[in-house]
Amino acid sequence: MNLNSIHNVYFIGIGGIGMSAIAIYFKSNGKHVAGYDKTPSEITNNLQKMAIKIHFEDTVNLIDTVFKDPKNTIVVYTPAVPKNHVELNYFIANNFTVLKRSEVLGEITKNTNCLAVAGTHGKTTTSTILGHILKEANTNATSFLGGISENYNSNIILGGNEVSVVEADEFDRSFLKLSPDIACITSMDADHLDVYGEQLELEKSFQEFASKVSGKLFVRKGLPIKGQTYGIEENADYNAYNIRIENGAYIFDVKTPVEIFENIKIYLPGKHNVLNAVAALAMANHFGISIEVIAKALLNFKGVKRRFTYKINTEDLVLIDDYAHHPIEIDAVVDSVKEMYPEKKVLGVFQPHLYSRTRDFASDFAKSLSRFDELILLDIYPARELPIEGISSAWLLKKISCKKKQLSSTENLIANVLKSKAQIIVVIGAGDIGLQVENIKKSLIVEN
C-alpha cells in the first residue's frame, strides 16, 4: 500500500489516544481527515480545532461524500469498535481498504528508521522520553505516543518522516505489525490474558517481536530475551547507579559500554522512572546522540499526563493522578509515594479496569491495594468487556486487608474523598476515573 497516493483517511474511533496521533500525522501531511467517535472529549475537541470533522452518531449519512470513494480513501479503526458498527460494516461491504490502527502504524514506520518501545509497563513514559530527546537533538523524527506529553501537550511529536518513535503495543499482538530498527523491551509481566490466555503465549509474542528488530535490541536486565541490557544498580550494559533524591529530582550516574557520565538529573518520581530514562538513554545513545545532549533533554522533561501527575502539591495536601491499572504499576506508584512522603497517610482511589484483569490478578491487586492507608474502590470499568459472573469490586474489596476501605459510586466519590484526613491522595486507573480528577481537585481546594 502506498500511503502517499491516498488522499482521504477516515477514522472509526478517532478519539482514542493512539488513533488521534495518527489522525494528526495524516492531517499534517496534507491528507483530508475525518472520523467518528462515541463521545466528545478533550482529544476530539482538539482535533476539531485542527479542522478535522468529527461526528458522534454511528450513521453512514454523516460521512462526507468525499470519503465514500474507495479508490482514494483508507479507513482506520480501533479493535475497541464493536463488530456490528454500522459505519465499519458499510466500508467493509463496499470494498474499502479497512485497516486496524496497528496496521497503519506499521505502514507509516516501514519506510522510516523506526525506534520502538515495547513492554507491559513503562512503554508510554519511555517512548515519550525518547521522543523528547530526539526532538531536543533536532533529529528528523516523528513520535507516536500512548499518552499526552506535558512538554508538547500532545500525543504526537511532529518532526519529519525519516525517523519514527513508536509505542509498540502488545495488546492484540499489534506490535508484530511494526518494522523496528532499534527497540527495547521494558517488561514482560502477565497482562492481557483475555487476548493471550496464559503468560507463556504473551512471552512468545515478545520473542517474535524481538526477532523482527533489524538492528539493536535493548532489554531490561533479567528478562529472558537476548539483547543489550539496561538496569539500575546491577551489572547491565547501560547501568544507573549512585541514585539519590535532591529537591524533588532523581540524580544518578550512568555507565555505558564505553563511558561513565555523572549527575544526570530527571524530575520524575520513582526509581521505575529512572529505569525508563535509562532505557530511552540507551536507545538514543545507540542512535548516535551524545550523553551530554541526552542529559540536557532529561533535565527539562516534564513527564506524561496521568503518569504520577501532581494536581495539587502543597505542604499540607497532595493530589496525584496516575494511569496505573495493573498490580505492578500500582506497586510502583505506592513505592514512589512512600519514598517521597514516608510520614504521611495515603488515600488510594482506584477504579479497576476490565473484569478479566480483575479476575486474573485478584490476589495481586489485593496485595498492592492493601498497601494504602485508606482505600476507596470504584466499580469495575468494563471497557470492551461484558460482566463476568461473580467478579465485582465488592468481591475484590473482601480480599483487601487495608483497615480503612470502602466501595464508592462515582456520584458519591467526592463526598467520600472529602471525609478522609489523608494528606496524600492518589487517584489511579485506566478507565474514566481520569475525568473525575479535576472535580476532586476543585472540591479539595474549596474545602481546604
The CATH number of whichever domain residue 223 belongs to comes to 3.40.1190.10
The secondary structure element, H or E, covering residue 318 is: strand 318-322
Residue 117 lies in a domain: yes
Q: 217 and 326 share a domain?
A: no
Same domain, 167 and 252: yes
Residue 105 forms part of a structural domain: no
Same-domain pairing of 269 and 353: no
Q: Which of 305, 298, 306 is nearest to 134 (CA)?
A: 298
Of 299, 323, 355, the residue at which a domain comes to its end is 299
Helix (H, G, I), strand (E, B) or coil at 193: helix
Same domain, 48 and 69: yes
Same domain, 92 and 191: no
Kindly report the CATH number assigned to the domain that includes residue 405.
3.90.190.20
Domain identity same for 69 and 87: yes
Task: Give me the sheet containing 249-255, strands edge to edge.
Answer: 154-157, 141-149, 163-168, 113-118, 182-185, 217-220, 228-232, 238-246, 249-255, 260-266
Query: Which CATH number is 10's domain given?
Result: 3.40.50.720
pLDDT at 190 (0 to 100): 61
Query: Considering 276, 299, 322, which residue would you say is the last residue of a domain?
Result: 299
Is position 80 within any domain?
A: yes
Is residue 116, in this structure, part of any structural domain at all? yes
In a domain, 304, yes or no: no
Q: Are residues 249 and 385 in the same domain?
A: no
Based on the domain organization, do 229 and 139 belong to the same domain? yes
Q: Which residues of the chain are under the pLDDT cut of 50?
A: none
Last residue of a domain, one of 242, 277, 299: 299
Do the beta carbons of residue 116 and residue 227 sit within 8 Å?
Answer: no
Cβ partners under 8 Å of residue 217, min gap 6: 182, 183, 184, 185, 210, 225, 226, 227, 228
113-118 and 141-149: which strand pairing? unpaired
Residue type, 57: E
The verdict on 322 and 388 lying in the same domain is: yes
Q: pLDDT digit string (tens) for 260-312?
A: 999 999 998 888 899 999 999 999 999 999 999 999 999 999 999 888 888 99
Could you tell me if 365 and 442 lie in one domain? Answer: yes
SS3 content of the chain, % helix, strand, coil (to 5): 40, 25, 35
Based on the domain organization, do 376 and 344 belong to the same domain?
yes
pLDDT at residue number 385? 85
DSSP for 153-184, please give it. TEEEE---SSEEEEEE--GGGGGGG---SEEE
Q: Of 142, 325, 127, which Cα lies nearest the Cα of 218? A: 127
Task: Establish if 198 belongs to a structural domain.
Answer: yes
For helices 123-136 and 271-287, angle between their N-to-C axes, nearest 10 degrees: 40
Number of helices followed by number of strands (H, E) in the chain: 15, 21
Q: In the prediction, which pLDDT does 245 show? A: 86
Cell numbers found for residue 150? 506535558
pLDDT of res. 194? 61
Grid cell for residue 214: 533489524
How many structural domains are present in the chain?
3
Same domain, 127 and 214: yes
Residue 136's domain spans which residues? 112-299
Phi, psi (degrees; rounded to nearest 5) at 266: -145, 135
The DSSP code sequence of 76-138 is EE-TTS-TT-HHHHHHHHTT-EEEEHHHHHHHHHHTSEEEEEE-SSSHHHHHHHHHHHHHHTT
Residue 106 lies in a domain: no
pLDDT value at position 196? 60
Provide the CB-side half-sphere exposure for 98 (13 A, CA).
Answer: 16
pLDDT at site 319:
95
Residue 289 lies in a domain: yes
User: Model-level pTM greater than 0.85?
Assistant: no
